[in-house]
Copies of this chain bind each other. A is one copy, B any other.
Amino acid sequence: MRRTLGSCYYPEHWPEEIWAEDARRMAEAGLTWVRIGEFAWSRLEATPGHLTWDWLDRAIGTLGGAGLKVVLGTPTATPPRWMLDRHPDMLAIDEKGRPRGFGSRRHYDFSHAGYREEARRIARLLAERYGRNPHVHAWQIDNEYGCHYTTLSWSEAARQGFRDWLAQKYQSPDALNRAWGNVFWSMDYATFDEIDLPNLTVTEANPAHRLDFHRYASAQVTLFNRAQVEEIRKLSDRPILHNYMGRETSFDHWQVGRDLDAASWDSYPIGFLSDRLENTPERKARFLRQGDPDNQAFHHDLYRGVGGMGAGRYTPGGRFWIMEQQPGPVNWAPWNPAPLPGMARLWAWEAFAHGAEAVLYFRWRQAPFAQEQMHAGLLRPDSAPAPALAEARQVADEIAGMPEAGCAPGDVALVFDYESCWAWDIQPQGADFDGFRLAMSAYRACRRAGLNVDIVPPDIADLSPWPMVLAPGVMILSGPLRAALSSYTGRALLGPRTDVKTPDFAIPVPLGPRLEGVTSVLTESLPPDASEPLEAGGAFRHWREWLEGEARVYERTTDGRAAIMGADHLRYLAGWPDDDAFHRIVSDLAREAGLHPVDLPDGLRLRDTETHRFLLNYNPEPVTWDGVTIAAAGVHWTPR
């Protein structure tokens, strides 16, 4: 696999006179790709039905003519103002019942049939015009689904759609009442038309009601995406992607991934550290200009997995890109410092080490106007090079000197389930509990142990490729995964809170998990200053369960309860270990699985490809490990 670079470009933002020079400089900087078009609807169709292709024709021609490959985006994340006149009810409605107005982006409702057809129409028109254009080498559908809390809309369209969806799923109100347990507070429905969306209730709505609504909403994202994919597929054989976001768990990416050829994501390491990741204040300060050392890798491994859904079912070694890579300070995080020198290079190499095909910096030139005017690019607004340009150039040179290679096979499969994230969100039981956070804890433990991780979907049917499997917090266990685990011969660790709910979001009777000799009989959530110490060191935090049963106890809390229990190949973890304990547990299990875990210093991480081992130092000072000294913000690679 050839590694490539690129950048995001908005010809409509700049005078046509400078397009050619921009294209020349991109090529000169070693860039291969240029992404365009995804916010340009108002310039493509200034009035309904009147398409203006000429400027885009020329832009594609100019860029392609300079040797660049174009990724063409559909502009459906930014419907123009006139769209509201055609579909006044297409605006998403927030959880408090207020329309989310025009004037920024993503102001559409995924449930709105009329807008979905408009999206299909513009995708078809683009495909008709550029489906065979020699410079268009890939497609992007829409932009950052779910961003700005847009998966869930509490609209009339959603209400009607949800009722239909429920009617199809349950067939009768009685079946729904039974499934949801509506007897509980006299919440029984006599017809599907009585069912409202689960917002604005007096106290919490039925969790089954909420989970079904989230399933419905996630399905609308899939359908919205599919409508566009269908049109483009008919007219182009180039790969179709979407650019997912970081820590965006509001819809099921595995499902959307089935319709796409590759995944991509938008990586803003410093912004994400600041605005969406749990860390102590000390770690936030230490990695202020680098980002969390595990967050990018987590998403690379996740989206490589999502990219692997292209065949309709999961296959390891999926294709993925970084569609937007932070190059400097951004504008949208609470605070926006500049990256440490070297990080724009490190982030790119880390992506490649995890199997990325392409890394596109966002954006080519900083826009001097509108919402993101304080968002750095590879060029400054005055077209002078910004600091990241030289780092991109260096990466381009380094790529040229390296063999083509994908990533090494995974040591560990980590099951990541979006539905469980919704379930945690709906029923956290502890105020600081979160499904992504738990998965990240498990992932961090693996990364500290130097293990190569594949993140896999919750319905995976074959676990045989991995010596080790982790499935934390997968509340509802799928049939395929249950079957795969039952015949698994490596080392699998489920829990905490795995296989403890039915698909209807109820507690199963008999109690879960359905693991021989292990029953979870009581659950406790703990405030941040409480913990349950483990005999072997460290402690459970946030969450612990009381286990019963005849299975072997591998480890105990100091109050004598089972902390890990089960059998050789399949065990259950009864709580949420702190970082040190999780690393110890994962490392012990890895050794049993025949792997060779290490203990990497904080901020130093490694990743193997088919040909090399990469060491990435997120620290602001050099680190020496295994005889090698890696510079601050440095990357080091050795052949394997």
* Residues in A lying within 8 Å of B, measured CB to CB: 12-13, 39-43, 46-47, 75, 78-82, 92, 96-107, 147-148, 150, 180-190, 194, 196, 198-209, 274, 281, 284-285, 288, 328-329, 331-332, 334-338, 366-374, 376, 380-382, 384, 386-387, 427, 429-431, 504-511, 521-527, 529-530, 546
Contacts and interface: CB of A to CB of B under 8 A. Distances in A.
A177 to B, nearest CB: 9
Contacts of A102: 187, 196, 201
Contacts of A374: 427, 429, 523
A183 B371 contact: no
Interface centre among A100, A104, A430 (most CB of B within 10 A): A104
A180, A209, A284, A370 — most chain B CB neighbours (10 Å): A370
Given A105-B203, A180-B369, A184-B371, A274 B99 contact: no
Contact of A183 (B43, B92, B429, B546): B43
A604 to B, nearest CB: 23
B202 A81 contact: no
Nearest to A191: B81
Contact of A521 (B92, B103, B104, B380): B380
B99 A382 contact: no
17 contacts: A39-B186, A40-B183, A42-B183, A100-B200, A100-B201, A100-B202, A101-B196, A102-B201, A103-B205, A104-B205, A185-B370, A335-B530, A337-B526, A338-B522, A368-B506, A376-B522, A381-B511
Nearest to A546: B338
B430 A335 contact: yes
Nearest to A108: B202
Q: Count identical subunits in the complex.
A: 3
Contacts of A368: 181, 506-509
Nearest to A39: B185
A284 B205 contact: no
Cβ-closest 6 pairs across A and B? A181-B369, A184-B370, A42-B186, A368-B507, A181-B370, A78-B186
A335 B432 CA distance: 9
Nearest to A282: B529
Contacts of A96: 96, 98
A333 B504 CA distance: 23
Contacts of A387: 522
A90 to B, nearest CB: 12
A190 B338 CA distance: 38
Contact of A80 (B184, B186, B427): B186
Contact of A369 (B186, B384, B507): B507
Contact of A78 (B13, B185, B373, B376): B185
B199 A274 contact: no
A80 B188 CA distance: 7
Given A78-B186, A99-B200, 14 more contacts: A13-B181, A39-B186, A80-B186, A82-B190, A102-B196, A104-B202, A148-B203, A184-B369, A208-B369, A208-B370, A334-B431, A336-B524, A369-B505, A369-B507
A103 B198 contact: yes
Contact of A190 (B47, B281, B285): B47
Nearest to A548: B384
B46 A12 contact: no
A142 to B, nearest CB: 13
A536 to B, nearest CB: 22
Contacts of A334: 430-431, 527
A78 B203 CA distance: 12
A638 B199 CA distance: 54
A199 B382 contact: no
A381 B430 contact: no
B103 A187 contact: yes
Contacts of A104: 185, 187, 201-206
A112 to B, nearest CB: 14
A449 B632 CA distance: 42
A13 B183 contact: yes
Given A103-B187, A382-B511, A506 B209 contact: no
A107 B204 contact: no
A358 B101 CA distance: 48
A187 B372 CA distance: 14
A328 B369 CA distance: 49
A79 B185 CA distance: 9
Contacts of A148: 202-203
Contact of A527 (B150, B183, B335, B431): B335
Nearest to A433: B335
A281 B529 contact: yes
A363 to B, nearest CB: 11
A337 to B, nearest CB: 5
Contact of A285 (B98, B370, B530): B530
Nearest to A427: B374
Contacts of A284: 527
A207 B42 CA distance: 19
